[in-house]
Every structure is written in C-alpha cells, then in structure tokens.
Amino acid sequence: MIELRYTLLSDGSSDRVLIPVLNWLLHTHLRDCAIQSEWADLRCFDRSLTNTLEKRIKLSIELYPCELLFIHRDSERDSHMIRVNEIRTTVNQIESFVSVPTVCVVPVRMTEAWLLFDIVALRQAASNPNGSTLLQLPELRRLEHQPDPKNVLRDLLRQASGLSLRRLKGFPMSDRTHRVAELINDFSPLRILPAFAALESELKDAIEKQGWKSC
C-alpha cells in the first residue's frame, strides 16, 4: 500500500478540525492509499518568522515534509475567491521553494460552518447521545451565509449537552468541537456548498496531475 503524507497549514490551532474533513476527501479519491496527516504547529516560533503567509508556507514545508500541502484561510468578511487568490499569489511568488502541490482550503466564513450539519455527531460530541433537546441546525444550503459559525456550533453543543448553566462552566468546548469533526463519518452533504465543492475540485485536479490515481 502506498503512503501519502500531507500537511495542513491553518490560520489557527482550532482549524485542526479540518483534518477529518481532508482525510475523508483523500480516502474518497485515493481508496488504496494510507493517508498520514500533520498539522503545521508554528506556535512556538517568534512572530517575526510567521507574520506572513509566505514565511508560514516555507516553514511548514521545512518542518513537516510531505507530498501535499493544504493551505487554509477563513474567508471571514472577504469573498472566497479573494482568499484563494491571496494563497495562489503567495505560492506563485515562492514557486521555486514550493516543491509539493498545494491545495487551498477556504471555508465561508470560517471552518466551523462545515460542522453544522450532523445532529448525531453533535450529540455524541456533547457526551449526551440520547439527548432529546431539539437542536435547530442551520439550513444546509445556507451554511456559508452564517455570520458566526463558531458561536452557532458552541451554542448547539451546549444545548446538546443538556447541562445546567452551572455545570456548563467546566464544559471543554475546544475538545468537544474537535470531537464533532472526528465523529462525522460522511462529509458528502457539504458538496452542495460552493467553497467545499471548490476544495474537492482542486484536490481532484492535484491528484490527477500527480498521477496518484494509480494508488
């Protein structure tokens, strides 16, 4: 079995929740490959070494050798295409240094939007799989229009937990958010979202150009 190593360079540590999403996509299109993932943890470095996307890309490639580099940026208040163009422009500027294919990962508006569709995963992540509290998830087609997906996800986890306000003070929100991503077995419903479809399309192009279909 052939092994494919990839690295995720993200805006922040919370965006590690993208790894299950990327694993799912790679396993979908490279069924016979062993996928090894790494998150580029650059938090210990001086700000002067990580204060531009160009520097972070170079550092990620140096420290986390891989065959494929995913570069994440949240779109936030800008459009998906603006963020994608920012990434591509930066990669082109250091083309001689970047020896591996790169794929843009740009959720709209932020990563948590891609976790707001699976009630079962939410209840399990909140450690209350049999909870009966009604969870009102956003309409799937409008996930990219949520102004603050992070807070929506947190509110849903609190509701799903069934805990009182007092007990919620010790609720490990970060861990439970990551757990939602890990518990989702099928991300295919997100294919109706333009940003997710763009990610999958770019990944498929990279796979074909590298000849990895033979895996």
C-alpha R_g of the chain? 18
Catalogue the long-range contacts made by 28-32 (C-beta closer than 8 Å, 24 or more residues apart).
29/203, 29/204, 29/207, 30/4, 30/207, 30/212, 30/213, 30/215, 31/215, 32/1, 32/2, 32/215
Contact 113, 143 (CB under 8 A): yes
For the chain, give the mean pLDDT: 94
Confidence of residue 76 (pLDDT cuts 50, 70, 90): confident
Q: Which of 179, 106, 115 is nearest to 151 (CA)?
A: 115
Euclidean distance between CA atoms 39 and 18, whole angstroms: 10
Tell me the whole-structure pTM to 2 decimals. 0.94
3-state SS of 105-132? ECCCCCHHHHHCCCHHHHHHHCCCCCCC
Q: Which domains does the chain show, CATH number per domain?
A: 2-108+193-214 (3.40.50), 112-183 (no CATH)
Q: Which pLDDT tens digit goes with each residue over 105-150?
A: 999 989 999 999 999 999 999 999 999 899 999 999 999 999 999 9
Confidence of residue 213 (pLDDT cuts 50, 70, 90): confident
Euclidean distance between CA atoms 97 and 18, whole angstroms: 25
Contact 121, 157 (CB under 8 A): no
Euclidean distance between CA atoms 203 and 177, whole angstroms: 25
